[in-house]
Amino acid sequence: MSNVIQHWRDGKVFAGTSTATAPVTNPATGAVSGEVALASVDDARAVIDAAVAAYPAWRDTSLAKRTSVLFAFRELLNARKEELAALITAEHGKVLSDALGEVSRGLEVVEFACGIPSLLKGGFTENASTNVDVHSVLQPLGPVGIISPFNFPAMVPMWFFPIAIAAGNTVVLKPSEKDPSSSLWMARLWAEAGLPDGVFNVLQGDKTAVDELLTNPKIKAISFVGSTPIAQYVYATATAAGKRVQALGGAKNHAVILPDADLDLAADAMVNAGFGSAGERCMAISAAVAVGPIADELVAKIAERAATIKTGDGTKDSDMGPLVTKVHRDKVASYIDAGEADGAKVVVDGRTVIANGGADGFWLGPTLLDNVTPEMSVYTDEIFGPVLSVLRVESYDEALELINNNPYGNGTAIFTNDGGAARRFQNEVEVGMVGINVPIPVPMAYFSFGGWKASLFGDSHAHGTEGVHFFTRTKAITTRWLDPSHGGINLGFPENK
């Protein structure tokens, strides 16, 4: 099993005892590029135990030493990010420029974590009561689990583990079995940066590994990103086991284009946000809501741009890569079939794409559907592919109602030159992340990422100050140092004086 992508435990590769594996494919060729280990319960517990054993020493390591390791990791990652991007392209399929952008956005959170000392400061009140001082401290939780999706194998884990580690926790990362190599690459980089053994661990596997993380009492918190049904399961299972949980779920992101918008800007944005990374983004725009008389012109401009997108191998001259697996490709194509059968007009058809890549690659080109209505499955479901639906409405109020009635609330955008309309939209829309003339409103690392409604389970968003709060807990300490003049016995109820 030497060619199998294995776990990482105690600063080195860990083979475990399970012989079960799953294939890892190159989406641009359809060829199996390797096998990934699927952990047994015993394997999962062995990896978790490494995080448990490393926790006391890491918790007690000074903040100065912890952040020095973070700085070293940041420098190594910045210097070698092209290596990581190439791994992502080989297993996920996204083009190299997109993979490099993913790593760069993850790097922002590493940089944010380097400055965590100012956010880990407690508070202090002198003489809160006579000769009594009160102060608070933020302490780590313990070993924590991170369960990340296939679409961002580097960025999403980096939303969580830099902050968790900087705060003094130890980590078990469970990556997607579809693209597992990035996790081991980052584990080796942590070791090179000087992180003590056992602080960062990687558990490869499927539902067996996930369920052990969710239920094992030694894991104190779970961070998860994935589809809403699985997020609901993760949240229910882990909270029932007494864990702190942040579970980021799915999305159906709308962009409202008002009649006064710059339609060239809006069309560019719809193509970029709808088809980037083959639509496999939780922040992808999948529903363009055209308000009033602009719909025909907007559809024509989007179609013109979509037709120029080159689909192919991410290592070649391509704008958009394949989908991650053949099963997923076929599922996305079935939604196009269903939309067409339901009466939507297929303006640009990605099912017939001729791609610059292997004949057996998982290809599906940019697809534009017009005259989509809210009851169609192409609108109601999160497709997670390069399918952009255009819905036509008559007014701003109708567009707002459409968005607010949707069960998801991850991201949204409005395109307009009317500041009053934009301000009203940002106030009234029931969505966690809002863009104004910005199609993918992913906040910077020092803000927090997360949606509303069925797009988030738990109270904490990712990274930013909410991320710091998630990976720490506050302890309040009341102190009195007696001086020689202190009084004697007093059985009365203690009062603040």
d(Cα 453, Cα 410) in Å, to the nearest integer? 8
Single out the residue of 159, 180, 160, 172 nearest to residue 219, CA to CA: 172
The conformational region for residue 46 under phi > 0 = left, psi -120 to 50 = alpha, else beta, is alpha
Single out the residue of 291, 284, 285, 286 nearest to residue 256, CA to CA: 291
Catalytic residue among 282, 333, 429, 433: 282
d(Cα 165, Cα 191) in Å, to the nearest integer? 13
Single out the residue of 85, 89, 125, 126 nearest to residue 104, CA to CA: 85
Catalytic annotation present for 282: yes
d(Cα 191, Cα 433) in Å, to the nearest integer? 35
416 φ, ψ to 5°?
-165, 160
Q: Which residues make Cβ contacts (< 8 Å) with residue 79, sequence separation at least 6?
A: none
Q: Which residues make Cβ contacts (< 8 Å) with residue 161, sequence separation at least 6?
A: 146, 171, 173, 200
d(Cα 497, Cα 330) in Å, to the nearest integer? 72
- Whether residue 410 contacts residue 253, with contact meaning beta carbons closer than 8 Å, is answered with yes
Q: Which residues make Cβ contacts (< 8 Å) with residue 231, sequence separation at least 6?
A: 224, 225, 247, 248, 249, 250, 456, 457
d(Cα 22, Cα 177) in Å, to the nearest integer? 7
Positive or negative, the CA dihedral 185, 188, 193, 197 is positive
Tokens of residue 315, six digits = 């290592």
DSSP state at residue 276 = G
Task: Give the angle subtended at the CA of 450 by the CAs of 395 and 109, to the nearest 5°.
Answer: 130
SS3 365: coil
Single out the residue of 160, 186, 167, 62 nearest to residue 115, CA to CA: 167
SS3 22: strand
**Exposure class string for 144-181: b at 16+ Cβ within 10 A, else e:** bbbbbbbbbbbbbbbbbbbbbbbbbbbbbbbbbbbbbb
Task: Give the angle subtended at the CA of 456 by the CAs of 452 and 458, to the nearest 5°.
Answer: 115
Tokens of residue 482, six digits = 């007696």
Q: Which residues are catalytic?
A: 282
